Amino acid sequence: MIHRSWTVREDILELFRSIGRASMTYDIQDSHSGNMAIRLLDASGGDQIIITATGSQKGDLDPSQICVLSATETDYGYYKASSETDIHQRILSIEGVRASIHAHTKDLTIATLDDADKPNRPPDFVPIDPLGFHHLGDHVHVDWIAVPSGSPEMADLIPKRLADHPATVIQAHGTFARGRTLKEAFFLQCVANNAGAVIRAAKTLDVNVEELRRRMKADAGAFFAYPPVPYAVEGDEFSEFPEESEILKEFHKTGARVFESWLSPFHTGSMSVRGVSDLLYAPKASMPRDVGGPLLKVPLRPDSSDPPELALHKTIYAETDFQTVMHCYLPEAEAYAHFRYPGEDAPADRIVPIDAEGSFLYLVIPVVPPKTDAETLIRLLHDYKLVVVRGGGVWSVGSQSLSEVLHHPSSLREICLYRIGAFEQGLDLRKMEPKKAKKW
């Protein structure tokens, strides 16, 4: 048996700490649940696994709770490591995989429960939101296992599932995800839980989820605005305007608030501020305070090589006087975009606030189809400052600051929660809506 040093590099320790804290903030772990692991080269060029210790608090990790193991042999630290070390070791042996996370993704876990007699093979989970569909694929495997914690059956099955899919669910136990980096694995966990949150909210609103899934399977392109860009593992510490301390501070503060307020999953969405000839751009708007993301300075003029997300920011600035733009993926708004009033055949084209503050700020919020042209979207943003795109997230604009533009999706989340809660109680939403909203 090999006795290996427990010392872990400071940068690795801080990475584990930051992702652990973020997982607590995003509520995909309880105080002691889950585990994280990475595979990297040691000083002598050999592979090693670094994994959280069993029973460790992911939001408050200290050096003794990070275990350094051999990637190929059982050693002393193995017995202090997570009870699911065997599983992570096999996941990390998949080609190209250097990180893995097991998380108690509550929304996805609840969305994949059933009361069927056991043993059984639960149905796959099928996302209906753009992030889930494009980053996780058109289905996520769900498996029931008799002993769903560190069992040989799990160690055999989970790596097989993750060889072909970025995430997989063990029924009533949570999600396993793999990535090229720990941040990518965390990104996939957040996207997976977000997909579960959309399904849960949609079912609460009596959306025919199975019919929607059937139609998406037949023609997925008709249901989404455009594919999000693939997750980038490089450049998160990169800033092209470090000298502009005040605006840099605003980007960091706003990005943290987007993440902490559950306005968009980790490293999703985007935000920008207009300059004279450039725009300051955060392509991963949802950024925990101690994780961050890239901050870019790009030409304001359109470029044919711009990805769709950045291109729309530029188009909005070209056609308006707005100074800030934000794009988020609110699960409640995505679910609500499919809502139909009882007795109606088509999804509603607006969200009407029923709460006092929401009604004060917005008489209505438009909901538009996924392929809505930029001209129509910009006209609605000019009139309403906030637009929900079915299958495309939430766009908002501001005339002054990032704080101003942040207020819109933050308010929208509460507006949706109140409406979903009222519907859940069997209340008549039409009766609760201001009469003047019908004229807008």
Query: DSSP per residue over 367-404, as a string?
Result: EE-TT--HHHHHHHHHHHSEEEETTTEEEEEESS-HHH
Q: What is the pLDDT of residues 162-185, one digit of tens each?
A: 999 999 999 999 999 999 999 999
Residues 355 and 427: beta-carbon distance below 8 Å = no
- C-alpha to C-alpha distance for 333 and 413, rounded to whole angstroms: 7
Read off the pLDDT of each residue in 359-375 and give the average, rounded to a whole number: 96
User: Residue 73: its pLDDT value, please?
Assistant: 64
- C-alpha to C-alpha distance for 125 and 112, rounded to whole angstroms: 7
Read off the pLDDT of each residue in 359-376 and give the average, rounded to a whole number: 97
Q: What is the pLDDT of residues 233-291, one digit of tens each?
A: 999 999 999 999 999 999 999 999 999 999 999 999 999 999 999 999 999 999 999 99
**Could you tell me which CATH class the domain 245-439 is placed in?**
alpha beta
- C-alpha to C-alpha distance for 198 and 301, rounded to whole angstroms: 35
Neighbour tally for 289: CB within 10 Å: 16
Q: What is the pLDDT of residues 185-223, one digit of tens each?
A: 999 999 999 999 999 999 999 999 999 999 999 999 999
Q: What percent of the chain has pLDDT over 70?
A: 96
DSSP designation for 53: B
Residues 50 and 214: beta-carbon distance below 8 Å = no
User: Residue 233: its pLDDT value, please?
Assistant: 97
- C-alpha to C-alpha distance for 144 and 117, rounded to whole angstroms: 11
Residues 48 and 42: beta-carbon distance below 8 Å = yes
Q: What is the pLDDT of residues 93-141, one digit of tens each?
A: 999 999 999 999 999 999 999 999 999 999 999 999 999 999 999 999 9
What phi and psi values does residue 49 have, to the nearest 5 degrees? -110, 135
Please name which of 40, 35, 242, 307 lies closest in space to residue 149, comparing C-alpha atoms: 35
User: Residue 6: its pLDDT value, please?
Assistant: 52
Provide the mean pLDDT of the chain.
93
User: Residue 58: its pLDDT value, please?
Assistant: 85
Residues 257 and 247: beta-carbon distance below 8 Å = no
How far from the centroid of its chain's Cα atoms is residue 131's Cα?
7
Q: Where in the chain is the domain with CATH 3.40.225.10?
A: 10-223, 245-439
**Could you tell me which CATH class the domain 10-223 is placed in?**
alpha beta
- The CA-atom distances, in angstroms, between 188 and each of 22, 92, 136, 183, 353 are 13, 16, 8, 9, 32
Helix (H, G, I), strand (E, B) or coil at 22: helix
Read off the pLDDT of each residue in 319-337 and give the average, rounded to a whole number: 98
Amino acid at 323: Q
Q: pTM of the prediction?
A: 0.95
Q: pLDDT band for position 7 (50/70/90)?
A: low
Strands 270-274 and 324-328: antiparallel
Please name which of 325, 353, 324, 349 lies closest in space to residue 337, comparing C-alpha atoms: 349
Q: What is the pLDDT of residues 387-406, one digit of tens each?
A: 999 999 999 999 999 999 99
